[in-house]
Structure 1
Amino acid sequence: MPVSIFGGVMGLTALSFAWSLADQTWHVGSFPATVIGWAAILAFLTLTVAYLTKWARHPAARSR
């Protein structure tokens, strides 16, 4: 599992931030920003646990 998959989490975070700015500008509602933000947090935690599990189970992969 490459570290680059965390880039998707950063994209979700940016989308949440952009929606929040759109709400401030055009009053489109902040609920989607909140949902996307929580999805980004959940994705980050899931990927972190998966990455740490890989790291613990496969010591040879640590040096790569």
Structure 2
Amino acid sequence: MDDKTLILALGGPSKVADMLSFKKPGGAQRVQNWMTRGIPARQKLDRPDLFPARQETDGPQGAA
């Protein structure tokens, strides 16, 4: 799941900004920017409950 899809699945930028306790105004815009730029690595590391580690499914399994 890409970052944009994840943000939308969590309820959109405003909802995610509230979950992260970002101050208003500006918090929702900050998260909105992530839909284009990607969620910063620090946020993903700090909140694995919201942003789970991506599981790679591409490529053949068991390849040496």
Same fold by TM-score greater than 0.5: no
Higher-helix-fraction structure: 1
- Which structure is higher in RCO with an 8 Å CA cutoff and minimum separation 6? 1
For Structure 1 versus Structure 2, the TM-score category normalised by the shorter chain is: 0.3 to 0.5
Larger Rg: 1
Give the TM-score normalised by the residue count of structure 2.
0.32
Report the TM-score when normalising by structure 1: 0.32
